[in-house]
Amino acid sequence: MHGSDERLQILHMARSEVLAGRMSRRAFLRLGLALGLSAGATALVACSNPSPTPTPVQSAPTPTGAGGRLRVATEIPVQLDPAFASSDAEILILNHVYDYLVDIDANNAITPRLAREWTVSDDGLRYRFTLHDGVTFHDGSRLTAADVVWTFNRLRDPALQLPTADLYANIADIAEENETTVAFTLSEPNPFFLYDLSDNHALILRAGTTNAATSFNGTGPFKVVEYRTENRIDLVAATPYFQAGKPLVSALEIIFFADQAAAVDALRGGQVDLVLRMPTPLFQTLQQTTGIVTVQTPTNGFDLVRLRSDREPGNKPEVIRALKLATDRQAIFQQVKAGLGAVGRDSPIGPLFSAYYSEETPLPPRDPAAARALLETAGYRDGLKLDLHVPDSGDRPDLAVVLKEQWAEAGIDVNVIVEPESVYYGDDRWLEVDLGITGWGSRPVPQFYLDVMLVSGAIWNESHFSDAEFDALAALARTTLNEDERVRAYREIQRILIERGPIIIPYFFAQLSAHREGLRGYVAKAFPGRTDLASIAV
């Protein structure tokens, strides 16, 4: 996408809804106007042929569970209740035990899943979904609209303190019209509502489920046979499955590794077939390895360096500015990512969001002397000592080492504490530490990051950032029907984060994965936990 093409892409996706009978022409025209496009431009899209979506070359599908065993390496999961899952490993497992109402493909387009079709009212406030007939949970019970209603009511229950409570605050009502029809009524129009319904946590549970972290009773393409918490989870094809031709293997093994080097060694040694993510140095070692196929995918995922801003030392603006001045983002991008991805600008609105991304506000050039002077002004005449908590996944330990070296020149003494990813995220410890590095996966729209990561009181506001001007702009971007207003709001948000946000985003990473030759049907996704393993044949 280039510039305003992002809005046109949204409109092209909406056009497919019109052609499928799920959206009226009037609602389509209203969406175009809400996105800031003229009536003429909207009409042209309505009459045009959408750009073709690239289709991966793969072998013809084989019958469901036709045979073979797929072995996938991932990190150790901690939380397997879909409503609370956060890591790639957790989301990957759950994505194959359960199903979404609607899904997102590798090109960020909305696709049917449990809902076979839907319609949108002319005013954009009512979404009506028709479910596939005959879908069953793994315990044999039949899926009904009541399960969908129960799942989303749970996800928006403020008592559970879930990140989705804010995401779904705009839902006024969810109603079961009959066993296969469910209707959502919104408080105000939201052109991205279908993306909200495909959030990582929005996997459909059976109504009344009380032990979601251990029951594994989904409608997904695989059902759990055995879960050994420290080393693996074994699954078999769920038959029958409502998506014809899936899954393409009869058994799925998701094998846990305490570190990614061991996972890559297992790929080299033939113990696993696919590694969905890995640090840059390991990826580079595999690029010339016989029998291994490497894949890199652009994403808006990033590693977030953040300082708690609600207590010392982060509640002193001079300290935040000092950290920014002590950081050379371009050098980090080259040293840590080897130029794979894009340089960051301390905002989650990256280059892939081309309609909103801006370089109008300059990043401060690195100036360790000025950073040291700011620390003295803040009362740290002898420098600043900080513990930096880092998960052991991806390139985050390497990022921590480079930051330690750069910041030392400004009088900032960093003690790097590398922890297993399961420990870093376990019991939400990552939300409590003063200084940390957190990996954030790619999302199809930027508003997600603002609403769950940065607005005051957000459920995953790990920097404890609170800024009235920022909050007002985020609310405007979330609710305005004027696309020009949204663009201006996002650009002002980027300015605020560069100037005073307690965060540093040095780069946006490419998703790096690898698999053995002969694997068919693998399509890399920007968020690896959403990879469709049911479409892979061995």
H/E run at residue 96: helix 88-97
H/E run at residue 72: strand 69-74
For domain 302-509, give the fold: Dipeptide-binding Protein; domain 3 (3.10.105)
* pLDDT above 80 for 13: no
**pLDDT, tens digit (0-9, with 9 covering 90-100), for 444-478:** 889 989 988 999 999 899 999 999 999 999 999 98
Please report, as a single letter, which amino acid is at residue 147. Answer: D
pLDDT at 259: 87
Give the mean pLDDT of 18-23.
Answer: 42
Give the mean pLDDT of 27-38.
Answer: 44
Asked if 143 contacts 135 with a C-beta cutoff of 8 angstroms, the reply is yes
pLDDT at 64: 52
pTM for the model stands at 0.73
pLDDT, greater one: 34 or 485? 485
Asked if 218 contacts 143 with a C-beta cutoff of 8 angstroms, the reply is no
pLDDT at 19: 40
C-alpha 263/C-alpha 450 separation (Å) is 33
- Delimit the domains of the chain by residue range: 5-47, 59-97+220-297+512-538, 99-215, 302-509
276: nearest Cα among 251, 303, 257: 257
Whether the CA torsion 279, 283, 284, 289 is positive or negative: it is positive
Which region, left, alpha or beta, applies to residue 352 given φ > 0 means left and ψ of -120 to 50 means alpha?
alpha
**C-alpha pair distances (Å), 60 with each of 53, 386, 521:** 18, 55, 9
* pLDDT above 90 for 6: no
Give me the helix-helix angle, 368-377 and 317-325, nearest 10°.
Answer: 170
**What mean pLDDT value characterizes the chain?**
88
**pLDDT, tens digit (0-9, with 9 covering 90-100), for 223-233:** 999 999 999 99
pLDDT at 299: 93
**Reported confidence tier of residue 65, pLDDT bands at 50, 70, 90:** low
Q: Which residue has the tokens 């006024």?
A: 172
Please report, as a single letter, which amino acid is at residue 220. Answer: G
**What is the number of helices (H) and of strands (E) in the chain?**
18, 20
- What single string gives the DSSP state of each residue in 347-384? SS--TTSTTT----SPPPPP-HHHHHHHHHHTT-TT-E
Give the mean pLDDT of 314-341.
Answer: 97
Which region, left, alpha or beta, applies to residue 96 given φ > 0 means left and ψ of -120 to 50 means alpha?
alpha
pLDDT, greater one: 1 or 138? 138
pLDDT, greater one: 9 or 446? 446
**pLDDT, tens digit (0-9, with 9 covering 90-100), for 357-415:** 999 999 999 999 999 999 999 999 999 999 999 999 889 999 999 999 999 999 999 99
**pLDDT, tens digit (0-9, with 9 covering 90-100), for 153-207:** 999 998 888 879 888 999 999 999 999 999 999 998 887 899 999 999 999 999 9
pLDDT more than 70, % of the chain: 88
Strands 69-74 and 274-275: parallel
Neighbours of 13 (CB within 10 A): 15
Strands 69-74 and 251-256: parallel
pLDDT at 459: 85
**Reported confidence tier of residue 21, pLDDT bands at 50, 70, 90:** very low
pLDDT at 480: 82
H/E run at residue 284: helix 280-286
* pLDDT above 90 for 35: no
> Which residues have CB under 8 Å from 399's CB, separation 6+?
303, 305, 332, 336, 390, 437, 506
Give the mean pLDDT of 135-151.
Answer: 98
C-alpha 119/C-alpha 11 separation (Å) is 16
- Half-sphere exposure (CA, 13 Å, Cβ side) for 19? 12
Burial 455-471 (b: 16+ CB within 10 A, else e): beebbbbbbbbbbeebb
pLDDT at 66: 62
Q: Which residue has the tokens 């899954």?
A: 247
C-alpha 284/C-alpha 338 separation (Å) is 9
| Domain 59-97+220-297+512-538 class, CATH top level | alpha beta
Angle at 185 between CA 181 and CA 188, to 5 degrees: 155
C-alpha 465/C-alpha 503 separation (Å) is 9
Burial 120-134 (b: 16+ CB within 10 A, else e): bbeebbbbbbbbbee
| Domain 99-215 class, CATH top level | alpha beta
Most confident listed range (2-16, 20-34, 424-438)? 424-438
Alpha helical stretches, state H, 157-192: 163-167
3-state secondary structure of 508: strand
pLDDT, greater one: 245 or 481? 245
Choose the weakest-confidence range: 197-206, 210-219, 311-320, 471-480: 471-480
Choose the weakest-confidence range: 56-70, 233-247, 274-288, 335-349: 56-70
pLDDT, greater one: 96 or 2? 96
* pLDDT above 50 for 20: no
pLDDT at 243: 95
Asked if 179 contacts 135 with a C-beta cutoff of 8 angstroms, the reply is no
396: nearest Cα among 505, 321, 309, 308: 505
